[in-house]
Amino acid sequence: MSQLHVTTKINGDETEFLCEAEDTLLDVLRDRLGLTGTKEGCGTGDCGACSVAVDGRLVCSCLMLGAEAEGRDIATIEGMATGDQLHPLQQKFIEMAALQCGICTPGILVAAQSLLERNPDPSEEEVRYWLAGNLCRCTGYDKIIRAVMETAADMRRAS
């Protein structure tokens, strides 16, 4: 079977790749494009480690085919920092030790960014519900939630 040729935008860059029809977007990102920041925890939509934004909408890249990316605008964790300048969420996660092994972290950062873009002043409950599809085996969540709340507060003060 011949491979599919897909043209898409990833973190603002025009990108082309070849993939098999059954490859997920996660397979493509990691194995064909070398963007290994996006993680695979489960492959079944349960853990959120594979979170990316597609046309501004948060999705699990393990539940989307690479072929579906044609003409779309995809944002991954690799696009979050600006050069050497970490995104405020990334900076805060380090400061507050909101990560341990780090497998869940890219997905949580991408998901949290998507929340703050929509809602700069979320309640703790809103943060917890928004991130309910992002599992973490290490931290117990508390530091993650606090880091997101504090980042939101910092970003509101800065704007």
Contacting positions for another protein (CB under 8 A)? 1, 4, 20-22, 24, 43-46, 48, 51, 54, 57-60, 62-65, 67-68, 70, 111, 114-115, 129-134
What number of other Cβ atoms are within 10 A of residue 1's Cβ?
A: 6
**Alpha-carbon dihedral angle through residues 108, 112, 113, 115, given to the nearest 10 degrees:** 140
DSSP of 69-94, one letter per residue?
GTT-EEE-GGGTSBTTB--HHHHHHH
> Residue 42 interacts with ligand FES (CB under 6 A)?
yes
Instruction: Summarize as ranges the residues that interact with ligand FAD (CB under 6 A).
Output: 45-46
Q: Which of 25, 53, 59, 60 forms a contact with ligand FES (CB under 6 A)?
A: 60
Which residues of this protein are in contact with ligand FES, per CB under 6 A? 40-43, 45-50, 60, 62, 99-105, 136-139
